[in-house]
Amino acid sequence: METVSSWRSHHGTQGVYSHGSEATGTEMVFSVFVPDHEPGARLPVVWYLSGLTCTHANVMEKGEYRAACAELGLIFVAPDTSPRGEGVADDPAYDMGQGAGFYVDATEAPWASHFRMRSYVEDELPAVVAAHFPADMDRQAITGHSMGGHGALTIGLRNPERFRGVSAFAPIVAPSQVPWGEKALAGYLGRDRAKWRDYDAVALIEDGARVPEILVDQGEADAFLAEQLRPALLRGACEAAGIDLTLRMQPGYDHSYYFISTFMADHLRWHAERLRG
């Protein structure tokens, strides 16, 4: 691991780091905020997964999380959304290819050789974080925005023993049923829809995946709400499964980081309550 940059901020250290990834076969970049702490202390970790077209930098520059993380004693980790670089497959559209990894392990050409973001986020990057930062890996939570909200929900549902808190901002809750997801899952995984279910939060819940509770914030003025996000599908699945879903519809808010930054501290405090002990 190499340090790309490091800044003093909010009584902690905001860093950007890079490493060679075995999962993606590329150099991967991620950001970590570590609040000041007592020598030898291990701090709980909140993972943040970004949305379409984003990198680690979007939330780092606009998410307004550092003050709350410093107050609550939380490490905040933000990976990139896809592999990048020369020789990595791409697509001219914003919703496929570099910047749009959808947190899947692709099986279809030309994506399969590099687009293994599920393995990267679930397995490889946590090992890097555990080795290089004062992280208590027994206390982890996960959140994300839009495509990253889809990633947070699906990774959390697949790994309930790992994450004490699962939340999301304007997530794609059922990618198998919306245009963004149908395009991406077909491209990365092929046309067999049965293979998509492991990457669809609503389908995972229908198939038996369980977490005790989920927090979701959704802007009512979000231009993608009706066609791409469809939070009512998650509400129905959670009600049928007995999962305690707090779905907060926020009047006037759109899909931007103005929305995310407004409710970021709420999510971090919610996670901190579940990470204590």
The predicted pLDDT at position 186 comes to 98
| Strand duo 12-20 + 2-9: pairing | antiparallel
pTM value surpassing 0.85: yes
Q: Which residue type, as a one-letter code, is found at position 247?
A: L
Instruction: Report the Cα–Cα distance between both ends of the chain, in Å, rounded.
Output: 30
**pLDDT of residue 277 exceeding 70:** no
The rounded mean pLDDT for the chain is: 98
Structure tokens at 94: 């914003």
**pLDDT of residue 96 exceeding 90:** yes
Q: How far apart, in whole angstroms, are the C-alpha atoms of residue 51 and residue 81?
A: 7
> Which strands, in side-by-side order, build the sheet including 213-219?
2-9, 12-20, 27-35, 75-79, 43-49, 135-144, 163-169, 213-219, 244-250
Active-site entry in 56, 114, 150, 255: 255
Q: Which residue type, as a one-letter code, is found at position 57?
A: A
Does 146 participate in catalysis according to the annotation? yes
| Strand duo 2-9 + 27-35: pairing | unpaired
The predicted pLDDT at position 190 comes to 98
Q: Which residue type, as a one-letter code, is found at position 32?
A: V
Active-site entry in 31, 222, 267, 271: 222
Active-site entry in 31, 50, 82, 146: 146
Q: How far is CA 245 from CA 6, 50, 142, 145, in A?
A: 37, 21, 15, 17
Nearest to 15 by CA among 31, 2, 29: 31
pLDDT in tens, 210-267: 999 999 999 999 999 999 999 999 999 999 999 999 999 999 999 999 999 999 999 9
Nearest to 157 by CA among 206, 123, 108: 206
Does 255 participate in catalysis according to the annotation? yes
pLDDT in tens, 120-172: 999 999 999 999 999 999 999 999 999 999 999 999 999 999 999 999 999 99
Domains of the chain: residue spans and CATH = 2-275 (3.40.50.1820)
**pLDDT of residue 180 exceeding 70:** yes
Bridge partners of residue 173, in order along the sequence? none
